[in-house]
Amino acid sequence: MYAAGVDHDTIARLLDWAQKEALRPNGDFYIPGEPPEYKDMQRVYRPATFGKVAAWIDHPVIRQPGVVKRILQYQHKPSGGVFNYIGDDPNHVQQQPAIGSLNTTFFGHLMLALDMRSEALAAGEWVRAWVDANRDCLAAGLLYTQMTPGGELVTQIGPGERIGKRVDLQRPKQEFWHVGTAMAYLAVLYDVMCTQWDEAEEKARPFLDAALALLDFEARMPLDTYLWPSKCKVGWGVGELLRVLVEHGLGDEETVRRTYQVAERVAVFTFMDNQLPHGGWAGMHYPLSDEIPEIAYSYKPLKNTLWVPPERVANPQTIFLPGEEITGEFLGEMKSIEQGVAAWLMASGRS
């Protein structure tokens, strides 16, 4: 809604509701009785997501006593990575065996919105280190998506776990968003360091170089991978990267062209081709395993019809993401593509 230009008073009403109904005494946000795939798996992801919008519009929910202090507990020291869940007791942090890109990057964006520089930089260092640990894998067409708190890639994959631990260049239905969310944060962090923090370009450059390594990987993806809704954050990533490359006068013509090409694929195939007549997008039965029937669902409409259950199914290995959530997320990601393309057109004199 923020990206679509909805008035801030309307957005504030939603944040008011979150503060009233979901803020718990320990500083976390969840509704009692929610299933664990929402309450626990997305424990810090949700406040990191709406928290940055609250910071942008100066809504008090993110400034409530204990909220930021609690969110900071999710960041692992010294790696800078961010756990998805640490238990309920602020006096006893339950570290998890693995750290991933989603919570680390969304935490980083919140820290940028709050101008908490050391925490934002630490998150960026984790993402850069994760990309560096994957360098040889990326060249081979693989991306392992988790690291241990000690900085080792998680490469052991059990039955049904591949979707949550590895991205490759073959399967059309994967967690492609790892590439996108990391690319977006690395590009934005570079931009903020150079334009707002007055840091030397050589200090910021490793973050941009890591984003470009992810672009090289993404540019090799088959076209059918862009039909899966989880490509959405790739649009965000290349939109931000395109904008940053153009505004800073970086990247040769071929790099800019490849960045735009990926943005175009997400815009056309992930977003526009899958949009429904009412203007939104379908809910998604997000698979947590490779070995469940729901992974066979297609979210591409045929004559405006989808053969996908419109409500949550009774399978604990799926997370139902309602259409309202999918649509809201897509709006923000499309805005990044729009801004990136607009910057490119203006720089090339075609706007």
Per-residue pLDDT of 167-198, as tens digits, reads 999 999 999 999 999 999 999 999 999 999 99
Output the pLDDT for position 346. Answer: 94
Instruction: For residue 328, tell me if it sits in a domain.
Output: no
> Within a domain: residue 205?
no
Q: State the pLDDT at residue 350.
A: 75
Asked if the model's pLDDT at residue 240 lies above 90, the reply is yes
238 in any annotated domain: no
Q: Answer yes or no: is pLDDT of 120 > 80.
A: yes
Would residue 22 count as lying in a domain? yes
Q: Band of the pLDDT at 165, cuts 50, 70, 90?
A: very high
Place of tokens 């809704």: 229
Of 63-72, 307-316, 332-341, the one with minimum mean pLDDT is 307-316
Q: Is the pLDDT of residue 214 over 70?
A: yes
pLDDT for the residue numbered 136? 98
Query: What average pLDDT is seen over the chain?
Result: 97
Residue 348: its pLDDT value, please?
Answer: 86
* Domain annotation covers residue 292: no
What is the mean pLDDT of the segment spanning 15-23? Answer: 98
Q: What pLDDT does 236 receive?
A: 99
272 band by pLDDT with thresholds 50, 70 and 90? very high
Q: How confident is the model at residue 329 (pLDDT cuts 50, 70, 90)?
A: very high
Length of the chain: 351
Query: 237-254 burial, b for 16+ CB within 10 Å, e for fewer?
Result: bbbbbbbbbbbbebbeee
Least confident residue range of 8-22, 129-143, 299-313, 332-346:
299-313
Residues 25-38, mean pLDDT to the nearest whole number: 96
Per-residue pLDDT at 315:
83
By CB atoms closer than 10 A (0-12, 13-18, 19+), residue 46 is middle
pLDDT above 80 for 351? no
Q: Please check whether residue 99 lies inside any domain of the structure.
A: yes
Phi and psi at 99, nearest 5°, equal -125, 140
pLDDT at 112: 99
The structure's pTM equals 0.97
- Specify if 329 maps to a domain: no
Range of the domain at 109: 1-118
Name the residue among 292, 280, 287, 291 with its Cα closest to residue 322: 280
Residue 207 lies in a domain: no
Number of separate domains in the chain: 1
Mean of pLDDT values over 212-231: 99
Sign of the Cα torsion 288, 292, 298, 304 reads: negative
